[in-house]
Structure 1
């Protein structure tokens, strides 16, 4: 039986670790050939090796999403290597932790440049190619933090809120070309970075505090991958312009910031 993404080619930015790597592996398990884009070769090759060890197909492409020339070069390389491109997952992102009064212009521009401008560049340049080859699907990885305050990371929150707005705008304009655009907003997710950054005490509190996370646990990376696979598949053929929270119910509650932040 044919897999749901069989014969599809997907480009995943920031696919070398964490959420991006997990999404890439999920797409490969669903049958897609996965092109991994990032600035550092070693983690991308590790992800590609895991995909290939599981019987999947993957390629590695070096470039920065915030550099237009490098984006163009990677897209050309993907098409040359695989002959087609139907799926884009804009996952590349960084966080600049700083209180509002202390945010530097450099830190602001770097975060916006990667998290928002990077997604814009990849989506626009890929859509120009998809327009001529029958369309496709884009998923932007946003964050539930776009909806409120979750600590001193104003540039990150602004970028993710902008990314959700960009998703909706692009969805309307690109629909005529057969291109769907959606976003997924993860809640607190069990990644190596989160486990390193957040104390074990805070993790336990996060999982058991009913007001904070109704399901009393973290999101697992394969659950995010499942959401992305669904949105880029034909099962979601009438869905475009939405932001899908994958957050164990966090956005459905009143956002109780004080219950978690002092434990860091």
Structure 2
């Protein structure tokens, strides 16, 4: 259980949080969770409509949120995203770099364009975000970054070679940066979810949503798939003071699937 989530006073009151991929799935659940604990949240992504719906739902619960359209593959858009976050809310304390894509297919049939889309979004996008986030945080007393990896970085999964490679690289990047910047009070960690019921969760060709859920639940030692809210709880823990001595770490949340 997340200690921060049980604090009725608002564990993140006054904090500014940036969540990429914030329009749906794990990103949306995490944005809601931070807002419920008093944070001002910037939700970013490529789909303006989903971002506006996210902001409306957060504000409908009494939270504070702003939407910023951003393609994390673009250095210029990432720079603008961080600048706008700081401009609107006066700073940046916590970032959840969650934007990502998963393309399913045999490596032997994967096109160069497909490979580049996965790598440029999942890996290069994380690098571009971290570069600007760290730059701001180290000049302003510190902060926390949580990168979204995957248990696919720890185990072999059919038809997900590019995705697995991108997430394994995110883990390596996280460890290196976590060590480099901890002395400047910037804590950087990663979270590696297992199967979670979200819109991005990849299906195999010809597989229905119901079949996907059934198959993945059967393949998990826990006998079920995770929820976006469960992953959000762990992101909040990594961002909380309770995790103050945790840096350069990968928190695997997959019901023992990769153990």
Normalized against structure 1, the TM-score is what?
A: 0.90
Match of 1:76 among 75, 83, 98: 83
Q: Deviations over 1:80-121 (max 9, x none)?
A: 100010111111001122211112111111110000000011
Match of 1:181 among 180, 185, 188: 188
Relative to structure 1, is the Cα distance of residues 228 and 198 closer, same or farther in structure 2, using a 3 angstrom cutoff? farther
Structure 1 residue 202: Cα displacement: 4.2
Conservation of the 8 A alpha-carbon contact between 1:30 and 1:229: no
- d(CA) in 2 for partners of 1:183 and 1:76? 23
- d(CA) in 1 for partners of 2:202 and 2:173? 30
Q: Deviations over 1:124-176 (max 9, x none)?
A: 11110111111000001111011122111221111000001111001000112
Question: Where in structure 2 are the equivalents of 1:183-202 lying within 5 Å?
Answer: 183-194=190-201, 198-202=208-212
Conservation of the 8 A alpha-carbon contact between 1:12 and 1:90: yes
Relative to structure 1, is the Cα distance of residues 27 and 98 closer, same or farther in structure 2, using a 3 angstrom cutoff? same
Q: Residue 256 of structure 1 aligns with which residue? A: none
Q: Which has the higher contact order (CA 8 A, sep 6+)?
A: 2
Secondary structure at the counterpart of residue 216 of structure 1: coil
Conservation of the 8 A alpha-carbon contact between 2:48 and 2:69: yes
Establish whether residue 232 from structure 1 lines up as the match of residue 242 from structure 2: no
Q: Residue 203 of structure 1 aligns with which residue? A: 213
Q: Residue 49 of structure 1 aligns with which residue? A: 56
Establish whether residue 241 from structure 1 lines up as the match of residue 251 from structure 2: no
Gaps of 5+ in 2: 1-7
Structure 1 residue 193: Cα displacement: 4.4
- d(CA) in 2 for partners of 1:39 and 1:200? 27
Establish whether residue 222 from structure 1 lines up as the match of residue 232 from structure 2: no
Q: Residue 7 of structure 1 aligns with which residue? A: 14
The CA RMSD measured in Å over matched residues stands at 1.5
Gaps of 5+ in 1: 253-264
Normalized against structure 2, the TM-score is what?
A: 0.92
Relative to structure 1, is the Cα distance of residues 133 and 103 closer, same or farther in structure 2, using a 3 angstrom cutoff? same
Secondary structure at the counterpart of residue 244 of structure 1: strand
Q: Residue 30 of structure 1 aligns with which residue? A: 37
Number of residue pairs the alignment of both structures matches? 249
Structure 1 runs of 4+ aligned residues shifted over 6 Å read none
Conservation of the 8 A alpha-carbon contact between 1:187 and 1:247: yes
- d(CA) in 2 for partners of 1:47 and 1:101? 38
